[in-house]
Structure 1
Amino acid sequence: MKKISILGSTGSIGTQALDVIEKNPEMFQVESLTCGKNINLFCKQLKKYSPSFAVTASEEDAMALKKKFPRIEFSYGLQGIITAASKTNCDLVLNSLMGMMGLKPTYEAICAGKDVALANKETLVAGGGIIMDAVKKYGVKLLPVDSEHSAIFQCLQGNGNNPIHRILLTASGGPFRGYTKKELEKVTLDQALNHPRWVMGSKITIDSASLMNKGLEVIEAHWLFNVPAEKIQVVVHPQSVIHSMVEFEDRSILAQLGMPDMRGPISYAFGYPKRIKNLFESVDFFKLGTLTFEEADCKTFSCLRLAYDALNAGGSLPVVLNAANEVLVQEFLDKKIKFIDIQNRLEVIMQRHKPIYDLTLDDILQIDAETRAEILIKK
């Protein structure tokens, strides 16, 4: 029986992870759950899964829930999340938090000897070097949950000693595939939130529309698989059936295929190295008909190019890229800026920053905070 702590249990990944656990009660048990503001759903989860430990964003919510669930230990805030990740009796931590809040809990979980199923891109985008050093030092497993990185990880099973010639990181292209920059100037928030393939949270959906999500995944792939930027190629694949591919030095390419359902990579991370039986839809190649591929348009979608620039420069630039993007996406969600402003303002911010190297965890958190504050002051 594997005990699992879920950081961000009320979000899209968290709820699907609980579905995987519910369908495999003989294999998994919920140890702890954390949530932000969706207290109504959190109450239902606490009642259904009876974790030993639970965390809310505010102390007020934690105190109120303690009265309803006296057998559960409660905490709140970032320190509560860190406790759920590192000090509870769990075997595996699923980090499905949004944004930089995920970095420190991941690091503390690793240092505590916990295996981590990672669905928080920012952990590796901003702190890749520190995180991967900790993984090696403490001998834990860092299991990717993003569908693309899970696909690459699966393709590498049994091929660990074979050098990678190229990673082919697939992208759906988002709702604006084929648009020109002029057309991007007119898109609406509702259009940007209407992803053609995946149902996700609002922030990651906007990132997918701008291709920043794919840029962050390029940086993440670099750290997870120790592959330089020039060996990571983004391939637009609108059907989202091939989740990514790996080409080896003999030019053989392995691909991982499946319907676009996040329960697949979640269950693979939870059960690794065992594959868990899933009951969701199989790929029907006869209905599908064709699989198509296109080159990613880095000229129109500057965010993808900027992510490559940040990875190549290294140091603090990926931290700035991530922090600035988070603030700008939120401003777009709040209808304070246009969609095109995300990439335009991000490029100016990155050009202004002089990278700093040999960062500590505290350095990363400080640069992140300073970047966010500077954008909000100058807006």
Structure 2
Amino acid sequence: MGVREKRKIIILGCTGSIGTTALQALLPYVKDFEIVGLSAHSSYKDLIHIANQWNCNTICLSKEDPSLYEKEQLPPGLVFYTGKDGLLDMIRNTKADIVLNGIAGSSGLAPTFAAIESNKNVALANKESIVMAGNLLFSHARNLGVTIIPVDSEHSTIDALIQAHGIKNIQKLVITASGGPFRNFSADQMENITVAMAVSHPTWQMGAKISIDSATLANKGLEVIEASYLFGFDSKNIEVVIHPQSIVHSMIRLHNGAVYGQLSPPDMALPIMSAIADSHIHLKDIVKPLDFTSLTLQFMKPDFDRFPLLKIAFEAIEKKASYPIAFNAANEIAVQAFIDEMIDFNQIATVVKATFEHDWSMTYTSLDEIVLIDSSVRTLARHVIRGLVE
């Protein structure tokens, strides 16, 4: 009997929260998986360390800054790509079964398209790819016979529940949200939120941008848009419920009234491993079993007044066209302005709302058109910010 060939993976964003969780979860499965490509944005030494640890000889540092590596000696035999174009070349030129896209933000869009165009399946943690490209992304993948597998815990859960119960039997998708660190703050308390407070998430360990998005519920808004495109449900058939314990990773409501969900500890290892294994590898004991003897679960409605970005995201679903692009790009610019202490926490929503209210009804048919629309949104959002700070 022959030895089964290892499943080949490219991990994009290997030094970020998704990438590091994936690498840790893969350790017990070194006989089943082979990492054939790795990327990081600017952490050169960490990238080299991970490549050595996993015997991976193809890497990319995507930041356009030679000073990060020019004084370092490259290990012999290493294929080293650099810059944004180098990242796309690495994806296209490296033979792999699946690409785990753990890049944060809009920077992950072009790599997703590169993976699809080189006929590689995508385990997609970069929700912005779906939010920005919408149905174009899925039609492109469908035409090339490529599968896009969601990695977000919420969408991974919904995907599994749809497979178990059938999409025709589902009335609504119920997306759970921890509510972030400020879910119990009063309106007055919301006025005094600092960057340090916003990046401290109560449940998940994430980067600054995603932590702030979770604090504003913009991240949940992005997930609502993502779910609409992924599963073909409109806004009236998607609901969000605050669930602070992050044990129930979303649910489905059936037409017969029954509700089904998936429960597990708040650990991204499960959705990541489920996506990259894609039923090809038998997984066991990825997360610890829940102990129900001391488990309390809470659920409550989101407050759209204190967290208006979630409401704007639902509007983006209703309007479609380029409104999801506008929501995402304006939010990215506003969050960076908050991190740079140019605006306060509540003004993140102010910037997004003012930008979103412009006409974004134009449609797109290519990645280049998406990039142009995204650039226009960012220019307008920066203009809004200048008006706030002057």
Structure 2 residue aligned with 1:283:
290
Q: Alpha-carbon deviations, 1:175-197, whole Å to 9, x = none? A: 01132333211112121111110
Count matched residues.
378
* Alpha-carbon contact 1:125-1:319 (below 8 Å) kept: yes
Structure 2 residue aligned with 1:2:
7
> 1:377: Cα distance to partner?
4.4
Structure 1 residue aligned with 2:94:
88
Asked if 1:269 corresponds to 2:284, the answer is no
Question: What code does the residue aligned with 1:357 have?
Answer: T
Asked if 1:339 corresponds to 2:332, the answer is no
Question: What code does the residue aligned with 1:283 have?
Answer: L
* Alpha-carbon contact 2:304-2:311 (below 8 Å) kept: yes
SS of residue matched to 2:349: helix
Distance between the aligned counterparts of 1:375 and 1:250, measured in 2?
Answer: 45
SS of residue matched to 1:251: coil
> 1:153: Cα distance to partner?
1.1
* Alpha-carbon contact 1:85-1:106 (below 8 Å) kept: no
CA 336–63 in structure 1, closer or farther in 2 if over 3 Å, else same: closer
> 1:91: Cα distance to partner?
0.6
Q: Alpha-carbon deviations, 1:296-322, whole Å to 9, x = none? A: 111210000011111111111111111
Distance between the aligned counterparts of 2:318 and 2:77, measured in 1?
Answer: 50
Structure 1 segment 1-379 matched on structure 2, within 5 A:
1-56=6-61, 57-58=63-64, 60=66, 64=70, 67-160=73-166, 162-273=168-279, 274-278=281-285, 280-288=287-295, 290-378=296-384, 379=386
Distance between the aligned counterparts of 2:72 and 2:26, measured in 1?
Answer: 24
Unaligned runs of 5+ in 1: none
CA 65–21 in structure 1, closer or farther in 2 if over 3 Å, else same: farther
SS of residue matched to 1:298: coil
CA 374–70 in structure 1, closer or farther in 2 if over 3 Å, else same: farther
Across the aligned residues of Structure 1 and Structure 2, the Cα RMSD in angstroms comes to 1.7
Distance between the aligned counterparts of 2:291 and 2:21, measured in 1?
Answer: 23
Distance between the aligned counterparts of 2:358 and 2:88, measured in 1?
Answer: 34
TM-score (norm 2): 0.92
Distance between the aligned counterparts of 2:162 and 2:67, measured in 1?
Answer: 44
Question: What code does the residue aligned with 1:338 have?
Answer: D
* Alpha-carbon contact 1:187-1:339 (below 8 Å) kept: yes
